[in-house]
């Protein structure tokens, strides 16, 4: 989590950005995603609509995203089966 120079805004990690995309694809609202990730609805919207910096330009990053996406999906499915 890096802070932008001269800004209160922080840069989201790659994992957080992937989480935003996955949650959005599952139908979660921008507001709810923003609360969960700790960012604004505007930032969530930019990431979800593809206006943010592209992810996974390298093969290594694509592999990491694939593993992370699988883990997040499995975690979401587990939460749906066993709600708190």
Task: Give the pLDDT of residue 57.
Answer: 54
| Tens of pLDDT, residues 2-26 | 444 445 667 888 888 888 988 888 8
pLDDT of 56 over the 60 cut: no
Q: What is the mean pLDDT of the chain?
A: 76
More confident residue, 11 or 1: 11
The CA distance from 4 to 18, in Å, is 20
Cβ 55 vs Cβ 65: under 8 Å: yes
For 17, the token pair is: 């950005």
Domain residue ranges in the chain: 14-49
Cβ 72 vs Cβ 22: under 8 Å: yes
């Amino acid at each position: 989590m890096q802070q932008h120079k001269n800004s209160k805004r922080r840069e989201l990690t790659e994992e957080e950005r992937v989480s935003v995309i996955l949650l959005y694809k599952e139908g979660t609202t921008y507001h709810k995603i923003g609360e969960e990730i700790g960012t604004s609805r505007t930032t969530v919207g930019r990431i979800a609509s593809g206006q943010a910096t592209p992810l996974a330009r390298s093969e290594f990053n694509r592999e990491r995203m694939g593993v992370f996406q699988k883990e997040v999906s499995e975690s979401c499915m587990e939460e749906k089966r066993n709600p708190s």
